[in-house]
Amino acid sequence: MSMDYKKSKASVTTVTRDVNRLDQDTNNIYQTVMIVAKRANQISVELKQELNRKLEEFAYYTDNLEEVFENREQIEISKYYERLPKPTLIATQEFLDDDIYYRMSEPETENL
């Protein structure tokens, strides 16, 4: 499921968060952090794959390894992706907007 991260409402800068709001659904800030971290990793991989696909479209190959060409399209694409919100900020916004599906495993009980 690929999302359009360009339309994310996530901030591009660091934002102070209300811890009580973050752990409202899980009742455990550490579980919230793990959910957001796993989602941020997924977003990071998706963005990297998307960026590589777009850069590949403008790749210029040469037989001479000494020649390096600065491709304006590749530079502009890279700058665009650098300006997007960071994956952690996107994941946090998704969590606050209830856009992340997660399932909590049942705690293991010991047989006494």
pLDDT at residue 1 is higher than 50: no
31: number of CA atoms within 13 Å, CB side?
12
pLDDT at 69: 62
Residue boundaries of the structural domains of the chain = 18-96
Which pLDDT score is estimated for 103? 86
Note the pLDDT tens digit of each residue in 58-86. 776 665 555 556 678 888 999 999 999 99
Angle at 64 between CA 59 and CA 69, to 5 degrees: 40
Average pLDDT over residues 95-99: 93
- CA distance linking residue 112 with residue 104, whole number of Å: 24
Looking at residue 28, its pLDDT comes to: 92
pLDDT tens, residue by residue, 11-47:
888 888 888 899 999 999 999 999 999 999 999 999 9
